[in-house]
Structure 1
Amino acid sequence: MNRELWTAVDDYLGDALLPADPVLDAALADSAAAGLPPIAVSPTQGRLLNLLARTAGARSILELGTLAGYSTIWLARALPTGGRIVTCEYDPKHAAVARKNLDRAGFGPDVAEILVGAALDTLPGLRDPFDFIFIDADKANLAAYVEHSLRLSHPGTTIVVDNVVRDGEVINADNSDPAVQGVRTMLTAIHTDARLDATAIQTVGDKGYDGFLLARVH
């Protein structure tokens, strides 16, 4: 088993289950043209986020880590009329590409708002709770992002955290990578937090060997 096979299976499943989508394809193309890193969720993962948000009945969504807005579009499409998504992006260049992609997808600032700057600086300005929260930002600060998410949640809020397996290095306590240690610190915090029920799922595919955490606020 290797990444080439995992990618081929991902492509097959995407072709089998997802319709052609010029808007999402254009978002990825613009991201690549702008030189952004190719780290957006895969199409099948985007659909999973969309389904989870719809299953949660989310009317308000918070995303940490916009990049070019690919996952933001998937999440915004889960919103009912009158819903909103707030997405946090550190890099102004990334935010500009995302704004263009979101506008083309039909989600203007009245529906999809981009907060530009470090999330730890912009999150304190938010007050209203969210129904669904997707965390796909830098991993070193995951525990802090989850704590902010809890402040911005209510009983029943769904929280998804991406990239928590790190090619299996999450089990290596001696790995000094801040991303690995950030995931481990977050997992310890969640394990001891009575406000959350959580699990984590390992995944393989176009993005390699990784996984995501799924939690629900009591």
Structure 2
Amino acid sequence: MSSLSQQELWARSDQYHNSFLIQPDEALEFARKNSDENGLPAIAVSTAQGKFLNLLARSIGAKRVLEVGTLGGFSTIWLARALPADGEVLTCELSEKHAEPGLSRLRAKTSLMRVCRTLGPAADTLKKLQPAHPYDLVFIDADKPNNLTYFIEAKRLVKKGGVIIVDNVARKGLVPDESNQDHNLEGVRKLLRYLKDDKEVDATSIGTVGEKGYDGFLYAIRL
């Protein structure tokens, strides 16, 4: 019998799989270290999840990506690296404290010239966007109470056949317990209630385990 906790077993599993499938990367390690040194919360996607976003963007031939929630730029790097030379990521972040340490130093150390950043409430930013061309992929990983607002705007901004990913929708399996009125849980529930009757997308949610614990993401396609 293993003496490791369930969380330690999941983290070990991630690390084991990553050792075969994901090469060590100086820029990504720098992004992690830089976030820690600047006191950012440790809530970025895991390495395996970042690689999944990268593979997804590549598999659909994405050129234009919208990210809601920059934090320290870890997922931004994965997304930007998936794009062709003429591709672009627009990443939205509320706090300059979060975005500035991430992208400014990352630009100096990496080749993230395909990344544009906006600061301020993402709900306001998204509502103002009138892009000449729709986005191929939208990744939503920001404050959970605004999930529905972000999703509705993402649906407007993404092309038909485009993909919308919403992170952190399983939340340790607590979402079905409606007696728990935690605002993050309720943000997921509001999105699910909306999607039940939404005829403009087709969606599913996938539970995940790993170094970030037990959670999951929602995968939607714009019809």
Residue from 101, 111, 116 that aligns with 1:113: 116
- Structural mapping, 1:1-80, within 5 Å: 2-80=6-84
Equivalent-residue separation in structure 2 for 1:120 and 1:146 (angstroms): 10
Query: Counterpart amino acid of 1:194?
Result: K
Greater CA drift, 48-57 or 96-105: 96-105
Equivalent-residue separation in structure 1 for 2:140 and 2:86 (angstroms): 23
User: 4+ residue stretches of structure 1 with deviation over 4 A?
Assistant: none
Deviations 1:10-55 (A, max 9, x none): 1111111101101100010000000101111111100000001111
Shift of 1:73: 0.3
- Structural mapping, 1:131-150, within 5 Å: 131-150=136-155
Q: Identity percentage over the alignment?
A: 46
Residue from 83, 87, 90 that aligns with 1:86: 90
Equivalent-residue separation in structure 2 for 1:145 and 1:67 (angstroms): 16
Please say if residues 63 and 86 of structure 1, whose CA atoms lie closer than 8 Å, have aligned partners that are also in contact: yes
Equivalent-residue separation in structure 1 for 2:154 and 2:68 (angstroms): 10
The SS at the match of 2:85 is coil
Partner of 2:178: 173
What TM-score do you get using the length of structure 1 for normalisation?
0.96
**Which 5+ residue runs of structure 1 have no aligned equivalent?**
none
Equivalent-residue separation in structure 1 for 2:9 and 2:203 (angstroms): 30
CA RMSD of aligned residues (A): 1.0
- Structural mapping, 1:201-212, within 5 Å: 201-212=206-217
Equivalent-residue separation in structure 2 for 1:209 and 1:43 (angstroms): 15
Deviations 1:167-201 (A, max 9, x none): 11111111111110010110111121101010111
The SS at the match of 2:161 is coil
The SS at the match of 1:157 is strand
**Which 5+ residue runs of structure 2 have no aligned equivalent?**
none
Say whether residues 1:185 and 2:209 are aligned partners.
no
Equivalent-residue separation in structure 1 for 2:102 and 2:25 (angstroms): 17
The SS at the match of 1:86 is strand
The SS at the match of 1:207 is coil
The SS at the match of 2:202 is strand
What TM-score do you get using the length of structure 2 for normalisation?
0.94
Change in 2 beyond 3 A, CA 1:12/1:101:
farther
